[in-house]
Amino acid sequence: MPIEINWQLLMPELIIALTLLIVLVFDLFDSISKSILGWMTIVGSGIALWVSIQMHQAGTVGTQFNDMFKVDNFSLFFNIIFLVSTILVALISLSYLGRDDRKQGPYYLLILLATLGMMLMAAGNELIIVFLGLELMSLSLYVLAGYFRDSPASSEAGMKYLLLGAFASAFFLYGIALIYGGTGTTNVPAIAEAIIAPNKSPLLLAGMFLLIVGFGFKVAIVPFHQWAPDVYEGAPTTVAAFISAGPKAAGFAAFLRIFMEALPNLQVEWSGVIIVLAMLTMTVGNVIAIAQTSIKRMLAYSSIAHAGYILIGLAAANNDGISSAMLYLLVYCVMNIGAFGAVILAKTEDGESLVISDYAGLGLRKPLLAMFMTIMLLSLAGFPPTAGFVGKFYIFKSAVQAGHIWLVIVGAVNTAISAFYYLRVVVTMYMREPEEELPFASYPSTLVVGLVLAAIGVLLIGILPSLMLAPAQNSVF
């Protein structure tokens, strides 16, 4: 049977694949400046972003490859999240990688490969496709985490991430196998049809729990979160920003799609588990973040806590829950990359300053940098009028609608706890005097552009949320 391919449906993925090939080819020529590769990545992702937005607005729906690959507003909205993250990460990477030409080519290649993997995950209408996307993404990330070969911390991060990530993939694959055993199919809608109320075999439930474990690793949910702080701390800061953003969103994309579309009939079984995991994740992430002295570790625990907030949306399991999780992921990616970008910006001449106390007095000495950092941290803490507030509010609202009042109370109390450590950085920047004057380096212009974009995004979505809220509400499957 010949396969009819609708190329138009695959446009964003094809554009990324093409960009990837161009980057690969251009990297072969020694005569050209390699910094152009970063710009190619940005332009390619930009075009793919524009195409995705057009397709989203047109409400394009369709499946490809024997129903394995599904393009709908859900996957297109996630494409927007991934591509925005990729563009921002590429922008903050341009100056970070320095002038070393050998480093540039593979870096952008891996970023693009990971992005392609994420897009496959969001569009996967078949557990195997989701797994393929997951592996494409994860393998690229393992290499990226260990990208600075000369740095022991980076190598350690890469190795740790590889070992734990491989375990998680194995769990995930085993879960798929058991679900196949229980239903006889790996197609998402077909699984939902195969699970009829009384037929809840233990096999199926075991498969479901293994999927939760697998996703739990990938998006860093407590108690599967231990890799995150070490990897974030050791990996190059731009890579940490990347890992914390896009891949988390991709994990949640598949998480939402599989649990809401393939396993809705098991909701009674999984919703309790998700609620407990959400509460645990938020609380553990926030409480441990308080004790951190390194800004990268603090952001790692904060990103764990944020996975907990997003889980609330899944626990709510209604339309608002899904769209609020999507909106929050978008907001979270922008503000988290922005926060990591500000960390990169706070570079001294001898290297990055990663201890929070180094930031003392930054408010007066580097007002622009301090302002960026403050906007991002306030948004992460969920203060109005930033995007973080709207996102959190919408998630809580969906959970109240679903009747999970206690979950919302835990979430709201966690917001207050999180304010403590986010504000501590602001306190250090504006309210403490520096013990010694650290020689801060000057601002690289591309990094500032990236941060300005992130700050505009955070404030714009905060003040006029309808810009992104309506598209998110429009994207539920």
Residue numbers of the site for other proteins (CB under 8 A)? Answer: 363-364, 378, 383-385, 389-390, 393-394, 396-397, 400-401, 405, 408-409, 412-413, 415-416, 419-420, 423-424, 427, 430-432, 465-466, 469-470, 473
Token look-up 């994207």 returns: 475
Closest CA relative to residue 52, chosen from 89, 86, 81: 81
Distance, in Å, from the CA atom of 329 to the CA atom of 395, rounded to the nearest integer, reads 11
Whichever of 21 and 368 has its CB closer to other proteins, that residue is 368
In whole angstroms, how close is the CB of 389 to other proteins at the nearest point? 7
**How far apart are CB 79 and other proteins at their closest, in Å?**
21
Element holding 379 (H helix, E strand): helix 367-381
Residue 220 or residue 289: which is nearer to other proteins going by CB?
289
Nearest distance, CB of residue 56 and other proteins, angstroms: 16
| Spatial separation of the C-alpha atoms in residues 178 and 211, rounded to whole Å | 10
Smallest distance, Å, CB 435 to other proteins? Answer: 16
Residue 340 CB, nearest approach to other proteins (Å): 22
Nearer to other proteins, 228 or 275 (CB): 275
Nearer residue to other proteins within complex by CB, 344 or 378: 378
Half-sphere exposure of 84 (CA within 13 A, CB side): 26
What 8-state DSSP symbol labels residue 222?
Answer: T
Residues 108-140 as b/e (b if ≥16 CB within 10 A, e otherwise) read bbbbbbbbbbbbbbbbbbbbebbbbbbbbbbbb
Closest to 109 measured CA to CA, from 32, 16, 43: 16
Residue bearing tokens 């679900």: 179
Nearest approach, Cβ of 415 to other proteins (angstroms)? Answer: 6
Q: Pick between residue 338 and residue 465 the one whose CB is nearest to other proteins.
A: 465
Element (H, E) at 453: helix 445-463
Residue 307 vs 378, nearer CB to other proteins:
378
